[in-house]
Structure 1
Amino acid sequence: MDLSTIDAIDVHVHVEQDGHGCLSLDQELIDASAAYFRADADRTPTVETIAAHYRERRMAAVVFTVDATSATGHPALSSEEIADAAAAHPDVLIPFGSVDPHGGKAAVRRIRSLVEQHAVRGFKFHPSLQGFAPNDPAFYPLYEAITEAGVPALFHTGQTGIGAGLPGGRGIKLRLSDPMLIDDVAADFPELTVVLAHPSVPWQDSAISMATHKANVFIDLSGWSPKYFPPQLVRAANSMLRHKVLFGSDFPVLTPDRWIADFAKLEIKEEVRPLIMKENAVRVLGLGTPSPP
């Protein structure tokens, strides 16, 4: 990837449809998420659609799906196919993998295969959707494999639009996405780069505390329009966490155009904006060698 041709890096982009027309979630969950976010864009973009969208905007995008097969009963999209499709667009796409955390040793082997054979640059977890407590030692072999691979782990935290407004939220438990559960992981795997996805409402202070306390913890700003960011998050991004927060949209439910337009209205220092939009991600993703913080 030629970073000189890229103005921003969106670290949180979902692939919702594969080349065979299969969807990442069942239709009820897709519709509920779209309603929650008032999404007006194509809700089920393919890798090719995403590449074109970001290339037009001189942006790069981290792309992934979430393998929640055990928890939802819905077959996951193939991370292998997503990574291989992204390889055709190396100028704008950075593939992450996803494994079903309940997959045991097979999931560990798959992590290694995704890195070694499909060149993924990180892994995405969604504890609430995947139905697992991330600090349960039963899942530590997953983190050991990711740490050995030297790539980041991106964890959904806080509220989720998936299941929102449905009876019982379709059984999806928000408490599993409390970032303090991931604090155990960050402490026990100090060499693992951990990214907390989204403003972690209602646990925003916990996320800020973690990113302040642990050198290996970062925060992506996806999933919420910046106009709704908690004020303490804006203050932290402007000061002590200026090198620890990353631009992310949550495309397709929130487009980069909408996110950036609202971000422009925040009182963010001019010298901090390029850190959030690109430079911090370059460092976290190992894409180059920007000046150290």
Structure 2
Amino acid sequence: MDLSKIVAIDIHTHAEEPCGTHADDGYDALQEAMKAYFKPKHNHRPTPHETAAYYRERNMACVIFPVDAERETGFRRYKNEEVAEAAAANSDVLIPFASIDPAKGKLGAREARRLVRDFGIRGFKFHPTMQGFYPNDRSAYVLYEAIAEAGAVALFHSGQTGVGSGMRGGNGMRLKYSNPMFIDDVAVDFPDMPIILAHPSFPWQDEALAVATHKPNVYIDLSGWSPRFFPANLVQYANTVLKHKMLFGSDWPVILPDRWIADFEKIDIRPEVRPLIMKENAIKLLKLA
């Protein structure tokens, strides 16, 4: 990856479609509900290789990951190895993260170590609402221990989610698990493990800012929302005390980077802070240089 040519690093993109494999029955209904929530201007769910082509065309890099929520949703997971192999084939633009349900316990911890060792995985994505767990549940700690020992990053969805929104019973997904205050315990117990709070954390934005301000190892990515809807306190902290801990993220493919960046250019972010958010903070966090 030639960082001198990369203009931005998107810290939050999803691996949507396994190559040549259609998703489980029922997954289309979940995707249709997400379309109603996000109102994307496209209907295609891209493969990692198509994602790489999109970012390469724009001289951008991105972190890409699946979400292992098969226990809660019943949808089989997109194999971490397949995503990692696709990233390796597009290593000029793709940075591989993995996802493991913490309920897999010691088996999940073994998988995490193997993925870092054999596949170059740099971090792990958690979605407490989709995976149905409190991030500070001690049963998850065996997996966190493996991640911390490997020097990898833990990225947690926080706040409300578009997944299941509008479906009967929210498709069984409980928002309470994604309160960022639960991450405060994780940051205390794993002080050397870099942690990313994904998204503006509605309705718990103040909690997210408090945790990121208080804990040196906690960062915030700005994905999942158009910047024109960012709350004033998030913009204020991004410009000041958290300017070195804010990260550009789109939430590809439901929010396109082109749209996110266009809206980001219109909000009141200081000129000296913009390059930190768009690229420099991610380079430091991910140890790319």
Q: Give the TM-score category using the shorter length.
A: over 0.9
Matched residue, 1:206:
207
Is residue 2:256 matched to residue 1:255?
yes
| Offset from partner CA, 1:20-42 (integer Å, 9 cap, x none) | 22338811111111210001224
| Code of the aligned partner of 1:21 | T
Matched residue, 2:16:
16
Q: What is the SS of the residue equivalent to 2:4?
A: helix
The count of corresponding residues between Structure 1 and Structure 2 is: 288
Work out whether residues 109 and 146 of structure 2, in 8 Å CA contact, stay in contact via their aligned partners in 1: yes
User: 1:7 and 1:157 mapped to 2: Cα distance?
Assistant: 27
User: 1:106 and 1:214 mapped to 2: Cα distance?
Assistant: 29
Matched residue, 2:30:
29
User: 2:278 and 2:23 mapped to 1: Cα distance?
Assistant: 29
| Code of the aligned partner of 1:163 | G
Is residue 2:284 matched to residue 1:283?
yes
Work out whether residues 116 and 150 of structure 2, in 8 Å CA contact, stay in contact via their aligned partners in 1: yes
| Offset from partner CA, 1:137-162 (integer Å, 9 cap, x none) | 01101110000010110000001000
Alignment of structure 1 residues 1-293 onto 2, 5 Å = 1-23=1-23, 26-288=27-289
User: 1:133 and 1:30 mapped to 2: Cα distance?
Assistant: 25
Work out whether residues 18 and 47 of structure 2, in 8 Å CA contact, stay in contact via their aligned partners in 1: yes
Q: What is the SS of the residue equivalent to 1:5?
A: coil
Q: What is the SS of the residue equivalent to 1:63?
A: strand
Work out whether residues 250 and 256 of structure 2, in 8 Å CA contact, stay in contact via their aligned partners in 1: yes
Matched residue, 1:291:
none
Give the RMSD, CA atoms, in angstroms.
1.0
TM-score by length of structure 1 reads: 0.97
| Code of the aligned partner of 2:57 | E
Choose 29-38 or 250-259, whichever is displaced more: 29-38
Q: What is the SS of the residue equivalent to 1:123?
A: strand
Work out whether residues 103 and 139 of structure 2, in 8 Å CA contact, stay in contact via their aligned partners in 1: no
Work out whether residues 246 and 281 of structure 2, in 8 Å CA contact, stay in contact via their aligned partners in 1: yes
Q: Aligned pair in 2 of structure 1 residues 43, 202: CA closer, same or farther (>3 Å)?
A: farther
Deviation at 1:267, TM superposition (A): 0.6
Q: What is the SS of the residue equivalent to 1:4?
A: coil
| Offset from partner CA, 1:237-288 (integer Å, 9 cap, x none) | 0011100100000000000000000000001000000000000000111111
The percent identity for this pair of structures is: 57
| Code of the aligned partner of 1:6 | I
User: 1:50 and 1:203 mapped to 2: Cα distance?
Assistant: 31
User: Where does the alignment leave 5 or more consecutive residues of structure 2 unmatched?
Assistant: none
User: 1:259 and 1:247 mapped to 2: Cα distance?
Assistant: 9
| Code of the aligned partner of 1:10 | D
| Code of the aligned partner of 2:245 | K
Work out whether residues 23 and 75 of structure 2, in 8 Å CA contact, stay in contact via their aligned partners in 1: no
User: 2:43 and 2:147 mapped to 1: Cα distance?
Assistant: 32
User: 1:63 and 1:188 mapped to 2: Cα distance?
Assistant: 27
Q: What is the SS of the residue equivalent to 2:13?
A: strand
Deviation at 1:43, TM superposition (A): 4.1
| Offset from partner CA, 1:65-114 (integer Å, 9 cap, x none) | 10001111110000111001110111100000011221121111100111
Q: Aligned pair in 2 of structure 1 residues 22, 109: CA closer, same or farther (>3 Å)?
A: farther
TM-score by length of structure 2 reads: 0.98
User: Where does the alignment leave 5 or more consecutive residues of structure 1 unmatched?
Assistant: 289-293
| Code of the aligned partner of 1:60 | A
Work out whether residues 201 and 208 of structure 2, in 8 Å CA contact, stay in contact via their aligned partners in 1: yes
Work out whether residues 102 and 139 of structure 2, in 8 Å CA contact, stay in contact via their aligned partners in 1: no
| Code of the aligned partner of 1:165 | G
Work out whether residues 13 and 251 of structure 1, in 8 Å CA contact, stay in contact via their aligned partners in 2: yes
